[in-house]
Amino acid sequence: MSAVHGHHIEISQGTDHVRVEVNGQLLADSRRPLLLAETGYPVRYYLPPEDVRTELLTPSETHTVCPFKGTASYWSLPGGPEDVAWAYPDPHPEVAQIKDHLCFYEVEVA
């Protein structure tokens, strides 16, 4: 848990069944997501890389910087949407557990 100037991030181990499909193609299927709750944002599901079909994704040129988590790298689906997933390869120590876990904009939770 981290809080800076009223900004709060909490990470917990989830047990929800999370699936990610893009254009009918299964990209991820996990029952062990990390749930990241952050001030001002919806809860995000960070999935272990072994639960993501990373062979279908290609690294993007996009990088963004979050003052609370670090620098994010993005992945795109060739022939599909760009920047469908992101991860923090070197997150700030306060959120170290999300290291290399992938997060998607659109997920299906069961």
3-state secondary structure 23-92: CCEEEEEECCCEEEEECCCCCEEEECHHHECHHHCEEEEEEEEECCCEEEEEEECCCCCCCCEEEECCCC
Give the model's pLDDT for residue 35: 97
- pTM for this predicted structure: 0.91
What CATH architecture applies to the domain 2-109?
A: Beta Complex (2.170)
pLDDT one-digit tens code per residue, 9-48: 999 999 999 999 998 899 999 999 999 999 999 999 999 9
Q: How confident is residue 5, by pLDDT bands cut at 50, 70 and 90?
A: low
Give the model's pLDDT for residue 107: 86
Domain extent listing, the chain? 2-109
Q: How far is CA 19 from the centre of its chain?
A: 13
Q: How confident is residue 6, by pLDDT bands cut at 50, 70 and 90?
A: confident
